[in-house]
Amino acid sequence: MLEQLCGFDGIDMKRIYLDHASSMPIDPRVLKFAMPFLNKNYENPSSIYSGGLETKRAIEESRRKIAELVNAENTNNIIFTSSATESNNLAIKGTALRNIGNGKNILASAIEHISVLNPMKELQKNGYTYDIIPVDSNGLVDLDRLENLLTNQTIITSIMYANNEIGTIEPIKKISKIVHENGKYLHVDATASAGRIPIDVQDQEIDLLTISSNDMYGPRGASALYVKQGLKIQSILPGGGQERGIRSGTENVFAIVGMGEAARLAKNDMNMESSRLKNIRDKLIHEILKIDNAYLTGHPVKRLPHHVSFRFSHIEGESILLNMDMSNIQISTGSACSSKTLEPSHVLLAIGLKHEEAHGSMVITLGKSNNLELVPDIVKVVKETVNRLRKLSPLSNLR
């Protein structure tokens, strides 16, 4: 099996890790490839002596691999950053500030990640207007509403390729056509989808695209922003002029080199791995929906191959997570970046759930260490957890 070929059988199989949207282990092949740049080839890539030139070449090779993953026009379109959050901030703020003379309106869907929504809110302090595009009950962007909100003053519109909490894949090519006919630039947050499903920035006419290393089995500390040829953006981190002056700071060579190799492997393995994960995903959906008052969240068909998400009536997602963890199964109850607040997920509220419904969510994101043989064990623990919590819940009418 793929997980054995990749060395993922080395993971403690007594625990079942199902939170790959939050963090992924580094692929052993990636770690082996990048390790020399952590403990041997440590020279600064801005140095012009031989060691520095070698690390610079490694960075450029990584840039090429990432460009190939998303079919960028050339390697110059790829800007390295430290995280998806930084890439999103650079895309939103950098584009809006650099093009301020062409308009001061910005748009985002109601289910964007907070690292997109918060920079847009911050731009309001500088006089920008900020509008939210609604989604339907499956999380698909309302295309008519998008078209109505766009004007010739709309500098940037941000729509994620696929949602990390409910798994819904957006019709990016249709969205791109609407944005370019009525507004200006489209930013796509592909953190949850790059390396999972095919992305072609040229065919889909995407202007800016966020890609994350750790979300495709690469090291933490690296991300990238694709910027379409000819699009001007402003640096939000000025300094020594690295990354074409757009993102200054000494490069994290180990993480960048690892990200490039992770992108190459993701491109090669994508079809086989996606097919494998879909089988597990669909089996989990079929079995877990047999539980009374269990509901699938997100689109039933147009969803990421590794993504399973539900809500359960009368119980809390945090309790589900902690009870599952006691059985050594790690799941999520929403975005890892939002988990420090007790407020219900803005994504689940945006698809029309009530506050009490949004609190009972469970998100499973599959990876290379998971297989079909684990499904009965997962389903058994989910059923036991839901039944136990409902017996304890004062809200439950099922006792």
28-264 matches 2-26+270-392 in CATH topology: no
What is the tens place of the pLDDT at every residue in 305-328? 999 999 999 898 899 999 999 999
Evaluate whether the domain defined by 28-264 bears CATH number 3.40.50.2300: no
- DSSP label at residue 25: P
pLDDT over 50 (residue 5)? no
Q: State how far the Cα of 230 lies from the Cα of 245, in Å rounded to an integer.
A: 15
The mean-pLDDT minimum among 52-56, 77-81, 104-108, 133-137 falls in 52-56
Tokens found for residue 76: 């110059």
pLDDT over 60 (residue 336)? no
Least Cα distance to 184 among 104, 119, 266 occurs for: 104
Residue 341, pLDDT score = 58
The mean-pLDDT minimum among 43-52, 255-264, 268-277 falls in 43-52
* CB atoms closer than 10 angstroms to residue 169: 23
Q: State how far the Cα of 32 lies from the Cα of 34, in Å rounded to an integer.
A: 6
Mean pLDDT, the chain, whole residue set: 92
Tokens found for residue 235: 């640096």
Tokens found for residue 240: 């020594």
Average pLDDT over residues 272-277: 97
Residues listed for the chain = 399
What is the tens place of the pLDDT at every residue in 73-86? 999 999 999 999 99
What's the topology of domain 2-26+270-392?
A: Aspartate Aminotransferase, domain 1 (3.90.1150)
Residues 57 and 192 sit within 8 Å (Cβ to Cβ): no
pLDDT over 90 (residue 1)? no
Q: State how far the Cα of 83 lies from the Cα of 78, in Å rounded to an integer.
A: 14
Q: State how far the Cα of 11 lies from the Cα of 371, in Å rounded to an integer.
A: 13
Q: State how far the Cα of 226 lies from the Cα of 50, in Å rounded to an integer.
A: 29
Confidence of residue 338 (pLDDT cuts 50, 70, 90): very low
Residues 105 and 129 sit within 8 Å (Cβ to Cβ): yes
Whose structure tokens read 């993971």? 11
Residues facing residue 156 across a β-bridge? 106, 185
Residues 156 and 95 sit within 8 Å (Cβ to Cβ): yes
Residues 362 and 320 sit within 8 Å (Cβ to Cβ): yes
pLDDT over 90 (residue 342)? no
The mean-pLDDT minimum among 53-62, 196-205, 277-286 falls in 53-62
CA distances from 47 to 38, 51, 359 (A): 17, 8, 52
pLDDT over 70 (residue 11)? no
Residue 42, pLDDT score = 77
Between strands 129-133 and 105-109, the pairing is: parallel
How is the chain split into domains, by residue range?
A: 2-26+270-392, 28-264
Q: State how far the Cα of 48 lies from the Cα of 304, in Å rounded to an integer.
A: 44
**Catalytic machinery residues:** 337
pLDDT over 90 (residue 9)? no
Residue 159, pLDDT score = 98
The CA-based angle 270-191-299, given to 5 degrees, is 75
State pTM to two decimals: 0.92
